[in-house]
Amino acid sequence: MRWREASVRVGALVGVLLGSAGLGRAVGGAAEVLADPAAAFFEPGRVHAIHLIVSAEDWEAMEPRQGQGGGFGPPGAGRRGFDLSEAFESGRATRPGLAGALGLDFAYVRGSIEVDGERVGEVGLRYKGNGTYVMAQGGDKRPMKVDFNRYVKGQRFRGLKTLNLHNNVVDRTFLHETLGYAVAREAGLPAPRTTYAEVWITVPGRHERAPLGVYTVTEQVDDVFLKGRFGTGKGLLMKPGGRESLRYRGEAWAEYERPLNVKEKGSAADRERMVAFLKLLEEADDATFAREVGRYVDVENTALFLALNVAMVNLDSILTIGQNYYAYLEAESGRLHWWLWDLDNCWGYFALMGTPEQRVAFSIGQPWQGENRLIERLLGVEKIRSRYLADLKRLIEGPMRPDKLRREIETWAAVLRPAIAREGEGMLRAFEASVFGTPSGGSAPMAFGPFQAANLPLVEFVERRVRSVRDQLEGRSEGQRIEFGIPGMGGPRGGRGPGGPGAFQPPPAEVFAMPFLRGAGVEPGEGMTAESFRALGRRWHEAWDGAGTGSVGRDEVVEGLNREFGPPPGAGPGPGGAGPRLRPGPGAGGPTMFGGPGAMWAAGFFTAGDTDRDGRLTGGEMRALFERWAREWDRDGDGTLTAEEIGEGFRGTMPAFPGGEGGPPGGTSPGTR
């Protein structure tokens, strides 16, 4: 389909995707339309051109600093399980989420930006993201934030203070955010707007307008967003990042600043009210909670927020890890509102939970993972649960109707294809397979080694998910309850409600053992002998040492780990990316998308094994490394390494992958490059 034809079709979607030429403001149940200078920028039907200009000094300064980190939040000490936000909450990390747990700290630098040829003055630029950054750090197409207000107070672009450039490193459909937020807006939930842009970067003296690729440009949730939707920027805006973020911690507000990740502080009364809600959530009996909760949360918003997460199977969210959402205590009503954020793993894409078949049948009756006091209590209140079920029905019959979404998907695909094709043939093939399926009609292979099982093509997922929700609403199915982890590792853990026997998942650590077990030809339940583990180290080194020199450098280790752990789609040798690599690193000449697991973990191998610090791993050093790991990881000393022991050992050896200190001298490490 040519551009003109696509533009005509997309024009018909403007009302659906934007709601109006302005912003719909919810005030007292009535909708008002406010003049919005950004409306034209977010209007569907085009891919913008964004050009970033950064000095060579600032280009280097953008690289994230490697902080203390602190690893992954442990269970115990009153915590309810695996928690990525624990390091941030305790002050050991500068940010919540995976990047914080890995010790990454993103700093703003000065730069300039041109949008469709219009140059904006000095702006702040920094990298952003958690998984999307970690997966992309080996390449140049990393997620970024543009702050127009950082260095020039009061400066705006189309009335906006900030734009987010999301790299779609996980979402090879490029459509998850755009469709998810559009469905939310049509259903009546405040949601950021999105558009697309091809992004180039200039570093004077080094790179002239070097292409980075296609980004999703996402509106920031801030006081500008609040004013557009609520008519005021006042109130308490929070972006919690962990399973324990909404725990009651006493009456002192200082105990909540970091766990709630406060973005707009609101008034003292707002903060007191938030503490009162958390106390109600934690301590009230069921009858009291049901009677009082409506004083603290907007019931309509809350039910719809939950229904959207469940209907779209948005599992990297409040339903599981406890992240990727905003909570806003609106000043006038004193009630909490919730909305979605970071939907790249939406539409059943969060492959660290179950199989594609399990995710498409995700339970609407018990749609949470592990212990989730907030959702369990909210859905235990009849007036919220009944509205939630009604919203699910309304969603599948309206905003999520498969034939409607199929038309929108096809229209956006026509718009995006030319730009995606410029990133390389491999990227375009991945896009087509991820959206529409393989030519044979099968599911697109979207594997990230052992970490990501195949996902259903987007159009197939929508059709089957709507059917599953309808069957569950009408009593023909109980749906599938799933837990964190990848099925197929370990034994069943008994029935779990509708999931029943077979809905088993391992602790997250076991995921990291799979390449070791697979390389040794061992089944997950069998374990590895110390000798087979040492032999695997020898075989890996021989395979990585393609030149037969007896030692391997960083690039060989990165490529070797990518092979063993399974490179992401589009990584590695192939048709190449949108242009030359801008920074030294793995995969030069290949796609600039990201460097895969090897880019994350190569530094850890050098830190642990390169004893003479010469930037090379010899065969002897590799053998000694695996000999030591075989002893240290064998916690019970029985001479056999279980999947759990290997996974825990590997994760503990690299507590801050991508590392930093372990890079070869004279070169660059994945963490600092």
Count of positions (residues) in the chain: 673
**Which of 282-291, 292-301, 664-673 shows the lowest per-residue confidence on average (mean pLDDT)?**
664-673
**Is residue 479 included in any domain, yes or no?**
no
pLDDT in tens, 221-266: 999 999 999 999 999 999 998 888 999 999 999 999 999 999 999 9
**pLDDT tier at 92, thresholds 50, 70, 90:** low
406 pLDDT more than 50: yes
What per-residue confidence (pLDDT) applies to 353?
A: 85
- Structural domains of the chain, count: 2
**pLDDT tier at 192, thresholds 50, 70, 90:** very high
What per-residue confidence (pLDDT) applies to 671?
A: 30
**Is residue 324 included in any domain, yes or no?**
no
What per-residue confidence (pLDDT) applies to 558?
A: 80
What per-residue confidence (pLDDT) applies to 569?
A: 41
**pLDDT tier at 102, thresholds 50, 70, 90:** low
- Average pLDDT score over residue span 396-406: 98
Pairing of the two strands 47-53 and 194-203: parallel
Last residue of a domain, one of 190, 214, 229: 229
**Is residue 429 included in any domain, yes or no?**
no
Last residue of a domain, one of 205, 229, 253: 229
**Is residue 582 included in any domain, yes or no?**
yes
Output the six-digit token pair for 67.
């902080």
CB distance 426 to 574 below 8 Å: yes
**Is residue 194 included in any domain, yes or no?**
yes
What per-residue confidence (pLDDT) applies to 470?
A: 99
DSSP letter, residue 76 = B
pLDDT in tens, 26-62: 433 334 445 789 999 999 999 999 999 999 999 999 9
CB distance 332 to 297 below 8 Å: no
**pLDDT tier at 125, thresholds 50, 70, 90:** very high
**Is residue 473 included in any domain, yes or no?**
no
**pLDDT tier at 392, thresholds 50, 70, 90:** very high
**Which of 124-128, 220-224, 368-372 shows the lowest per-residue confidence on average (mean pLDDT)?**
368-372
CB distance 336 to 329 below 8 Å: yes
Measure the CA–CA gap between 133 and 125, rounded to whole angstroms: 15
Last residue of a domain, one of 190, 207, 229: 229
pLDDT in tens, 596-650: 567 667 777 887 898 998 889 999 999 999 999 999 999 999 999 998 899 889 8
486 pLDDT more than 70: no
Cβ neighbours of residue 217 under 8 Å, at least 6 residues apart?
Answer: 48, 50, 163, 164, 165, 166, 194, 195, 196, 197
For tokens 């559009």, the residue is 182
Measure the CA–CA gap between 633 and 628, rounded to whole angstroms: 8
**Is residue 150 included in any domain, yes or no?**
yes
Measure the CA–CA gap between 559 and 575, rounded to whole angstroms: 17
**Is residue 60 included in any domain, yes or no?**
yes
Residue 107 belongs to domain spanning = 46-229
pLDDT in tens, 521-534: 887 678 899 999 99
What per-residue confidence (pLDDT) applies to 658?
A: 35
**Which of 96-100, 130-134, 477-481 shows the lowest per-residue confidence on average (mean pLDDT)?**
96-100
